[in-house]
């Protein structure tokens, strides 16, 4: 009986020896990622962010910290706040994407990178400067406008804040008249000065 079980085991081995392997030799080889893949990073467009903190409120783990101050360039009601702190404790994130779903202005996206290994837990916290400097290749997760355009975050070019929203720029200009677009050469005049 013992020999029979061994023979059966060897038969399974022989059968699978002839099959094409499913595995690849990472990191030399990589499988193609789906554009909706939720990676270990976030893509944020400061120009679109109002500081509403909806992303922080909807995070079920409470790992997003946002501190804002009134923007001196856009003091009118309905305009954006200035982001002082925007921290995400990546080491506790479960990549559910609820923060992205909650963002009403299409400024927070899941990223598609996943090689973010760190030696220290403190290094796993993403700060506002990291978000500012992150590569602008957003995942198409919960962003049908990107998916419909066929955008591939792993192969496509970086997208600007003007290209990632569901609404057209005219809407943004009308609703956010007076805001100063940080890090760009665009300065939208207020309605009074138009
Ligand atoms: S992906 Fe989920 S757990 Fe991670 S920060 Fe967003 S809401 Fe929180
Ligand atoms: S990322 Fe979106 S939800 Fe979060 S503060 Fe900015 S506008 Fe609000």
Taking the centre of ligand 2 as the mean of its atom positions, its distance from the CA of residue 90, in whole angstroms, is 17
C-alpha–C-alpha distance, residues 142 and 110, integer Å: 9
User: Which amino acid residue places its CA nearest to atom 1 of ligand 2?
Assistant: 108
Say whether pLDDT at 79 is over 90.
Answer: no
Tokens 């809407």 belong to residue: 171
* Residues in CB range of 79: below 8 A, 6 or more apart: 50, 71, 176, 178, 179
Question: Where do the domains of the chain lie, and which CATH numbers do they carry?
Answer: 40-173 (3.30.70.3270)
> Among residues 61, 176, 40, which one has the least CA distance to residue 114?
40
> pTM of the full predicted structure?
0.80
User: Which of 42, 87, 99, 108 to probe ligand 1 with, by most ligand atoms within 8 A of CB?
Assistant: 99
- Tell the burial category of 108 from Cβ atoms under 10 Å away from its Cβ (0-12, 13-18, 19+): buried
pLDDT tens per residue across span 115-138: 878 899 889 999 999 999 999 999
Identify the residues whose C-beta falls under 6 Å from ligand 2.
49-55, 66, 102-103, 105, 107-108
Least confident range of 23-27, 75-79, 188-192: 188-192
Higher-confidence residue of 159 and 166: namely 159
Say whether pLDDT at 54 is over 80.
Answer: yes
| Residue pair 113/83 in contact by the 8 Å Cβ criterion | no
Q: What is the mean pLDDT of the chain?
A: 84
User: Which of 39, 89, 95, 138 to probe ligand 1 with, by most ligand atoms within 8 A of CB?
Assistant: 95
pLDDT tens per residue across span 162-186: 899 887 666 555 555 445 454 444 4
């Amino acid at each position: 009986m013992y020999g029979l079980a061994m023979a059966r085991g060897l038969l399974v081995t022989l059968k699978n020896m002839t099959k094409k392997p499913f595995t690849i030799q990472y990191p030399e080889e990589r499988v193609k990622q789906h554009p909706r893949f939720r990676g270990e990073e976030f893509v944020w467009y400061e120009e679109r962010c109002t500081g509403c903190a909806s992303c922080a409120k909807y995070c079920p783990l409470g790992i997003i910290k946002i501190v804002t101050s009134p923007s001196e360039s856009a003091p009118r009601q309905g305009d954006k706040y200035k982001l002082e702190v925007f921290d995400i404790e990546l080491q506790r994130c479960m990549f559910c994407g609820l923060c992205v779903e909650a963002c009403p202005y299409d400024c927070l996206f899941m990223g598609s990178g996943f090689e973010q290994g760190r030696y220290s837990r403190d290094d796993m916290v993403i700060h506002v400067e990291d978000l500012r400097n992150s590569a602008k290749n957003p995942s198409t997760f919960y962003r049908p406008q990107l998916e419909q355009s066929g955008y591939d975050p792993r192969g496509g070019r970086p997208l600007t804040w003007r290209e990632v929203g569901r609404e057209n720029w005219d809407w943004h200009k009308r609703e956010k008249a007076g805001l100063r677009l940080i890090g760009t050469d665009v300065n939208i005049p207020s309605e009074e000065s138009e």
